Structure 1
Amino acid sequence: MRAWQLPAGSTGFDKLYQDTLPDLTPGPGEVLIAPRAWSINYRDFAVAAGKYFGGALTEPAVPLSDGAGEVLAVGEGVTDFAPGDRVQGSFFLDWADGPQVMGRALGDGKAPGMLAEQVVLPAQGVVKVADSLSWAEAACMPCAGVTAWNALFEGGRPIGKGSRVLVLGSGGVSLIALQLAKAAGAEVIATSSSDEKLARVLAMGAAHGVNYKAVPDWGAHVAREFGGAHKVVEVGGVGTLQQSMNALASEGEIALIGVLADGDPPHPRQLMMMGGSIRGIFVGSVAMAKKLNKFVDAHQIKPPIGATFGFDEAPAAYAHAWGPDSFGKTVIVRD
C-alpha cells in the first residue's frame, strides 16, 4: 500500500515522503479501513515540526488524525462493523464516553496515522460516518467537527435557540461551529482579518462579521454592539483570551481550544464580575462523534471545504492549509 510518512526527527511538513508499506491485516478486536479522504488540522503541523506534546518523532510515522473510508475486513470478535461500512476514525482511540480520557491519539507519531491507503484501528476507535456526507466531507469530522460539537453542546453551558456564539477566524473548527450553532438556532458573530473571508462567512449564515484589524478592540466591540457572546469558540489561545473575556455576555463560557496566538494570559478576576467561565476542549469522545453525525444528518450540514488535493499532492495540501488562502477545511482525496 502507498502511505505518506514523516521521518524521525521531522522538523516540518516539507519532510513528508511517500513510501510503499506492506498491506495490513486486522487482529482480534480490530478493523481494517481503506481511507478515501483525509483532512488537515493545525495540530498536524505541530506533529510534523516535532512540537506536539510528545516532542520530536522518534521513528517514521504516518501523519493525520482525520480520515474517512470503507471497512475492508474486521478481526475476530468485531460485531459492530462489517466490510463495506462507511467509517471514520476517532481522534482519541480510547475515549468512548464520559469524562475525558487522555490516551492514544491518531496521527501523533505513536498511534496509527490515517494518511495511507490502509489503516488498522481498534474497533472502539471507529465511528460510522454521517450518511448525508461525501467521503471528503466526512473526513472533516473527526477532529474539527467533534471539537466544535464539544465546544458548543457539551459541558455545563450548552448553546441553544437564542444563544449568541462568537467564532474566531475562518478555520475548520470555527466554520463548522458556525454551521452547528446556526442549526441550533443561535446567532453567530465571526471575526477575521480579511473582508473577503468575512463576506464568505456571512454568506454561510453568520449574523455579524468583525474585521479584527479594523476593530482592534473586537472583544469589547462584540459586547457593546451585539450584547456579548454566551459562547466563545476560542481557537486563538492566550494571545486572544483577554479579548474573548471582554466579549463574554453575563454567565458566558469560553471554550478554550487553540494555541494559535502567543501572549500573556489575562487575569481571571474579570470572570468573577460576570459569572463567566473557561472550559478546556481537547477534541472529544466517540459518543460525541456519534451525536455530531446524527445532528449533521438531521440538519443536512455540509462542512466547508476550501480546497481539495489528490493523494499524490499531499505536500501541496499541507502548504495550502498553512498559507493565507486557506478557508475552512483542506481535504485530500484518494485518486
Structure 2
Amino acid sequence: MRMPLLLISVAFIGSVFFFITNENELNSVKQIIVSPALPDSDHSRVQPNIIAETDDQTNGKPQSHGSTEQKNRLQEAKGQALMSAITSFWQLCRQQNNCDELLVQQQLILDENRYQLLLNFFDNQQTEQRLMGSSLISQSSSLADKIAHVKSIREQVWGADAHLLFEDQDAYYDYRLLLADPDSRFNQALSADGFMNEYNAMLEELGEELDRFSLDSDNAKYEEAVNLIPASMPENEAVRIKSQLANKYLTGNEQQAIVNRTEQVDQQQQEVADYQQGLNALEVELANERATSKKTMSDEDWLVYKAERLYQYRLDFFSA
C-alpha cells in the first residue's frame, strides 16, 4: 500500500524543507529563551539564577571571609550564565517562599543596574517573547536582516542589558554571519581537501569556545560541516567531503543510518513525483474531455464527474 508511505513522504519532505529554511537562514540563529513559571511572590515574577552559594550558606552558617570573595554570579556573570543565575534565584526563592527577603539581600550586594535586571527579568522576558511572536519578517529576508530584527527587539526590551544577557547568542550570530558571507573561507573552497582544511582550521581557532557554538560533540561537528558545504562545490567533491566527515565523526551505525535515511528520502521523493505526474496527466485529460465529449454536461454534473475521477485516481494510486 502506498498511502502510508506517501503521507510519510509529504510530511518528511515538508519537515526537511522547514528545517533547511530555518537552519540555513536563521537558522542557525539559536535563540535561547528561558521561560520560568510565574512565582507566587510579587517580586518573584522574574525567574532567575541564584547567587553562587557556598556550603556554609546552604547549611545556614555564617559566610566565611573566603566565601565572600567568591564571585557572585548575579553580579559578575554574563550571557547564558547570567540568564541561568537569574532563573535559579527565582526558582529557589519561590521554593523557600522567601523572595522578598532574598531580594533585600541582593539589593545590598548588587549594583543598581543588576538589581533592576533581577527584579524586572520576568516581565521583560514576557515582553520580549510577545514582541518576537507578534512581529513579522519575511522568510526571504537575508540572514543579516533577520538577526538585526531580533537584536532590535531585544534592545527595545532590555536596553543596555541586551548585550549583557545575550552575549553568547550575539557571538553565535556573528559566527553565522561570517559563515554566510559569500567571501567566507568555505564558499571559496573548490575541492574536498580545501574544504576539510578550512573546517579543521576553524575548529582549531574556536578552541575552548566550541561548546559556545554547540560544536562540542562529533555529531554536531559533522552536521555543521555538512551544512557549510557551499552550493558551488562540485557534486563529486561534495560526496567526498561527506564521506570524509562521516569517517571522522560518525560511528559505523550512524553512517549506515544516514545511508538508510538518504535512500528513504529518495524513494519518498520519487513516490511524490510519480503521484504529481499522474495527477497532472489526469488534469489534462479532464480538460480535454470538458472541451469535447463532456462539453454539454452541466457545471454541476461536471464537478461531480471530475471529483469522482480524481477520487478514483487517488484510490488506485495508493492501493497499488
TM-score (normalised: structure 2): 0.20
- Which has a greater percent of helix? 2
TM-score (normalised: structure 1): 0.19
> Which structure is larger by alpha-carbon Rg, 1 or 2?
2
Query: Greater relative contact order (Cα 8 A, min sep 6): structure 1 or 2?
Result: 2
- Which has a greater percent of strand? 1
